[in-house]
Amino acid sequence: MIITCIGHAKFLVELECGLRIVTDPYDATCGYPVTDVRADVVLVSHGHHDHNAVETIPGTPRVIDQAGEYELAEGVRLVAIEACHDDANGAKRGRTLLFSLHAEGVNVMHLGDLGHVPTAEQCMRLGHADVLMIPVGGHFTIDAPTAKEVAALLHARVVLPMHYKTRANEGWPIQPASAFTNLYAQAVEELDLLRVAGGDLSCQPEVAVLRPTSLN
Which residues have a Cβ under 8 Å from the Cβ of 101 and sit 6 or more positions away?
Answer: 13, 21, 72, 76, 77, 78, 107, 108, 109, 110
CB 126 within 8 A of CB 98: yes
Length of the chain: 216
Domain positions in the chain are: 2-211
165-213, pLDDT tens digit by residue?
999 999 999 999 999 999 999 889 899 999 999 888 888 999 999 999 9
Residues 10, 28: Cα–Cα separation, whole Å: 13
Q: Tell me the mean pLDDT in the region 87-107.
A: 94
- pLDDT tens per residue across span 49-69: 999 999 999 999 999 999 999
78-101 mean pLDDT: 94
- pLDDT of 186 reads 86
**At the topology level of CATH, where does 2-211 sit?**
Metallo-beta-lactamase; Chain A (3.60.15)
Q: Compute the distance between CA of residue 84 and CA of residue 91 in angstroms, rounded to an integer.
A: 9
What's the average model confidence in pLDDT over 93-100? 95
User: Residue 39, Cα to own-chain centre: how many angstroms?
Assistant: 16
Query: Which conformational region is residue 94 in: left (phi greater than 0), alpha (psi within -120 to 50 degrees), or beta?
Result: left
